[in-house]
A and B are shown apart, each in its own frame.
Chain A
Amino acid sequence: MQNPTPRRKFHLIYLVLDVSTSMRQADRQLESPFERFQLLMPDLVLRMREHIQVRTTCWLSVIAFASQATTVLPATSLREIPLVPPLPEPGQTNYAAALTLLRDRIAADQDTVKASVRPMVDDDASVIVRPLVFFVTDGFPFHGKAVQNRAEWLPVRNELAAPNGSAHIAALGLEGAEEGVLADLATGDGDLVNGFIADGTVASGSLAANVNSAILDSVQRSAQLGTMMIKTPTGMRRVARR
C-alpha cells in the first residue's frame, strides 16, 4: 500500500505598490496614501509575523512601481523581521513594468523558497509555493504619453493567473482607480472577483490604512486556509466581473 505524500504549502506574498505621483497627493487630512503606506509598512510586517502560520510558511516581497518597477524588498522569510527600505521616487503608472517584474520574480522566488524548505520536506514535488499578490493602485495604466492599453499588460497578468503561475491577485484601487482595470487585474472565484475600489466615503490616507488592515487579515487567513481570502476593506466596494 502506498503512503500518500504530504503536501506542504508555502506562500509568497507580494505587495505591489503604485508609488506614482498621484499617490503622493495629500487628502483633506493632509496625508497622502504614499505617506500612510510608508508609515505603516514596518508595522504591517511585524503584525503579519504575529500569526504563527504566517511566520513559518510565508515569504514577503515588496515591489514598487511608477514609471519603472523596483523590487524594494526581495522575497524574505518572515521567520526573521525584514527591513523594508524606503519606497522609490514617484513617476507614472506603468502596469506593464510592474507585472513583468512580478512574473519574473515569482519564477525565481519559487525556486528560492523550495531550496530553503528542502531540508524539511521529502521532495520538491510535495511543495506548493503559492503567490498571493496585493496590487495597490490609485490610477489607470499610463506610461510615456499615453494610456497603456490592455494588450501591453493583460497578457502578462494572464500568465501570472494561469494554472502554472497560480498567482492569486487582489487588486485594491484607491481614489482615482478605474473599476474595469481592477476587474481585469484581479483573480477570483467565478463572479466573485478580488478587485476592490474606493467608494468615496473615506479619505485616502485612512483608506490606505484600511487597505493595510485588509491585507494583514488576508495574509493571516490565507496562510491558514491555503487559498486567498480577503474581505472588502472599509471604505471600498467589490468591483463587478466584466
Chain B
Amino acid sequence: MESLFVQFNGLKWRISLLGESVILLTSTKSDPTEVRQSGLAIEKILGSQLYDITISYESIALFSDLPVNQIISTLQNKSIDEPINDTPPAVEVPICYELGSDISDVADYTGLSSDELIKLHLDGIYEVAMIGFLPGFVYAEGLHQKLYCPRKEVAIKHVSKGSVGIGGSQTGIYSFDSPGGWNIIGRTPIELFQPERTPPVTLVVGSPFTFYRITEKEFDKWES
C-alpha cells in the first residue's frame, strides 16, 4: 500500500484505513503529548462530523462518514493557533499503598525501599494518555523512570477494581475487576466509570492528575 501523509499541527501523519468509515492518523514522530493535543484539536475542527474518536500514544482514529480526501484537505497544513485552554481539570486520586499486592516485588526490582517507591510515586504528576482495555481504564504518563518495572510474565486472573499498576514504563488504573499483568502498587476507592453520569468517566484523555495517600481504614470507609 503506497503511504499517504497529511501535515497537521506541525507533525507528519501517515494515513491508513482502520475500517470502512474509520481513518487512522499515525504520527511519524513519537510524542504522545502532541498526539493528544492534535486529537483534541481535530475533535474541535471536525465537530459533529466526527462521531467518535480514539486517541492513543501515537495515533488518532477518526470515526466519520466524511470522505478521506475531505478530511485530509480540512486538516492539511493547519496548526493549532490558540493553545487548547479547556484542558480537563486536574483530579486528585486517593491511593492506598497497603493494598498494593506487588509493591514489594516492584521495590525488589527497582532497588528502592517501599517508602522511597511510595514517595516517588506520590511526587509524580500524571496525565491520561489513553482510555482503553476496559470502559474507563486509564493509561497514564508521568511515571518516574526509577519506577519502571516489567509486567508479569503471566497475567493473573483477578485484579481488583481501582488497582493502580505499573507495566514497563506504563502506568494505569483498573476501572473494573479484570485479569491483568501489571504490578499492583496500590488501590484507589474512587469509581472511574459511572454509566449514569455525563461524562461517564472521571478521567478523560488529557486529564492531569496526582495521587494522595489514604490509609486502609479510609479506603474501607470511602464513599464516592
Chains A and B are bound partners: no
> Which B residues form the contact surface with A (CB < 8 A)?
none
What is A's interface to B at a CB cutoff of 8 Å?
none
